[in-house]
């Protein structure tokens, strides 16, 4: 068993890759780039932005890889600074991995949370730790999800407030050889990142699967303390992909009132995970605005998915659905949900339908 904290920072920001000098600070080229589009998103529209959906689905998908691969995937869309922090304790079923992505001009910050690793049994045990616990004054939530947010919260708090003050997030965790927390820095241009003016103007929170559940709870926690008032004001959206339910009806109702108009849940086709945890483990409910796709963009869905009855039945049907997709002879058989539809690749491919950008398997070569 392990008990560790690992921080792996940097990557660098959202401007066209060729930008340099003043443009690299987000002044000229950034005005035409993705960073400026994300900064202009108005949360009052109650609709997800197509560029934000693509970038955040990409970040959520490539969080399953190593930091350098994540950098190469996202730097197609510009340069970024990354700080990646993980906490693992198998005995406590803790496996929390988050990445802070800050624009070089320091006006934009993305918190991306890693989802369930298919081969990590402790991730699955975290998902299965459904015994509910009180989540401040908002209601009761899935205990496994909440504990993984709790153990990371000090790091999230420190990075959020550093970004709010206009500081470089690379300076939050200096790291030493004797510390359980290690910080590693990298730069896409081979040199130090230039100092840039500006303070945080826009915050996005995202994740896929377990990461989506933790992203939703991290956003909810911002509404539990007045110290986060300014950060709440800058929250442009919580974009979750294949998110399971995270709390009971009381929690869902309270979260809906507080930030439901800025919470966008994306569900690909018959993905089974948004219908979990099963009813046999207790009553859970969704909140936020749901969008569904079968591969051709996202469509608003007014009716939230209900829970599966038991995990065994749900898992069996979901596995059969995946097998069915591989065999044309039985592909016609209708099924209500599928494990195959939960792949993060499906979410990226659906998200890029609303843009002219190639996405999932495009890399920047250093």
Q: Give tens-digit pLDDT for 313-349.
A: 545 554 544 454 554 654 444 455 577 788 999 999 9
Question: Is 337 within a domain?
Answer: no
- Is the pLDDT assigned to residue 149 strictly greater than 80? yes
What is the predicted pLDDT for the residue at 12?
32
What is the predicted pLDDT for the residue at 297?
87
Residue spans of alpha helices (H) in the chain: 34-40, 50-62, 67-74, 121-128, 143-150, 153-164, 210-221, 229-234, 249-259, 311-326, 344-351
Question: Is 201 within a domain?
Answer: yes
In terms of Cα–Cα distance, which of 175, 263, 182 is closest to 219?
Answer: 263
Considering the entire predicted model, what is its pTM? 0.81
> pLDDT (tens digit, 9 = 90+) per residue, 171-220?
998 653 344 444 444 444 444 444 445 789 999 999 999 999 999 999 99
Most confident of 27-31, 120-124, 176-180: 120-124
- Which CATH number goes with the domain that contains 291? 3.40.50.1820
Q: Are 148 and 221 in contact (CB under 8 A)?
A: no
Question: Is 322 within a domain?
Answer: no
Question: Is 101 within a domain?
Answer: yes
What is the predicted pLDDT for the residue at 323?
52
What is the predicted pLDDT for the residue at 154?
94
- Is the pLDDT assigned to residue 222 strictly greater than 60? yes
What is the predicted pLDDT for the residue at 84?
93
> pLDDT (tens digit, 9 = 90+) per residue, 62-85?
999 988 888 888 887 777 889 999
Looking up tokens 């065994």 gives: 312
Signed CA dihedral, 110, 203, 32, 357: sign only: positive
pLDDT above 70: percentage of residues in the chain: 69
Classify 301 as helix, strand or coil: strand
Classify 142 as helix, strand or coil: strand
In terms of Cα–Cα distance, which of 135, 119, 286, 155 is closest to 220?
Answer: 135
What does each C-alpha distance from 212 to 42, 62, 209, 312 come to in angstroms?
Answer: 22, 14, 5, 23
Task: Please tell me the least confidently modeled range out of 106-115, 131-140, 152-161, 191-200.
Answer: 191-200
Question: Is 184 within a domain?
Answer: yes
What is the predicted pLDDT for the residue at 15?
31
Question: Is 331 within a domain?
Answer: no
Question: Is 332 within a domain?
Answer: no
What is the predicted pLDDT for the residue at 100?
96
CA 348-251-164 angle, to 5 degrees, is 60
Q: Compute the mean pLDDT over every residue in the chain, rounded to the nearest whole number.
A: 77
Domain count, the chain: 1
Question: Is 338 within a domain?
Answer: no
Average pLDDT over residues 22-49: 69
Domain interval for residue 36: 3-312+344-354
Per 3-state DSSP, the chain is made up of helix, strand and coil in percentages (nearest 5) of 40, 20, 40
Task: Please tell me the least confidently modeled range out of 70-79, 95-104, 108-117, 254-263.
Answer: 70-79
């Amino acid at each position: 068993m392990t008990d560790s904290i690992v921080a792996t920072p940097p990557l660098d920001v959202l401007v066209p890759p060729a930008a340099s000098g003043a443009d690299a600070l987000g002044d000229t080229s950034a005005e035409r780039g993705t960073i400026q589009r994300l900064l202009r998103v108005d949360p009052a529209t109650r609709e997800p932005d197509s560029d934000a959906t693509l970038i955040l689905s990409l970040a959520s998908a490539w969080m399953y890889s190593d930091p350098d691969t994540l950098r190469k995937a996202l730097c197609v869309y510009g340069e970024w600074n990354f700080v990646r922090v993980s906490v693992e304790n198998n005995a406590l079923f803790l496996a929390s991995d988050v990445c802070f992505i800050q624009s070089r001009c320091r006006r934009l910050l993305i918190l991306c949370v890693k989802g369930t690793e298919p081969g990590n049994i402790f991730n699955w045990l975290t998902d299965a730790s459904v015994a509910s616990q009180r989540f401040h004054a908002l209601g009761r939530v899935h205990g496994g999800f909440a504990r993984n947010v709790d153990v990371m919260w000090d790091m999230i708090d420190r990075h959020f407030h550093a970004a709010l003050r206009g500081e470089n997030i690379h300076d939050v965790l200096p790291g030493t050889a004797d510390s359980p927390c290690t910080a590693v820095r990298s730069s896409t241009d081979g040199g130090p990142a230039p100092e840039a003016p500006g303070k945080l103007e826009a915050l996005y929170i995202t994740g896929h699967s377990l990461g989506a559940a933790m992203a939703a709870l991290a956003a909810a926690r911002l509404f539990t303390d007045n110290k986060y008032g300014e950060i709440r004001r800058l929250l442009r959206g919580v974009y979750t992909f294949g998110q399971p339910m995270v709390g009971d009806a009381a929690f869902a109702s309270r979260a809906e009132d507080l930030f439901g108009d800025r919470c966008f849940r994306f569900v690909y086709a018959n993905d089974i995970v948004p219908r979990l945890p099963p009813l046999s483990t207790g009553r859970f409910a969704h909140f936020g605005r749901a969008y569904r796709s079968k591969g051709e963009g996202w469509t608003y869905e007014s009716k939230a998915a209900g829970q599966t009855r038991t995990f065994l039945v749900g898992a069996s049907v979901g596995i059969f659905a995946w097998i069915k997709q591989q065999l044309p002879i039985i592909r016609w058989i209708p099924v209500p949900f599928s494990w195959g539809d939960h792949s993060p690749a499906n979410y990226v491919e659906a998200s890029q339908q609303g843009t002219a950008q190639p996405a999932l398997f495009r890399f920047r070569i250093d």
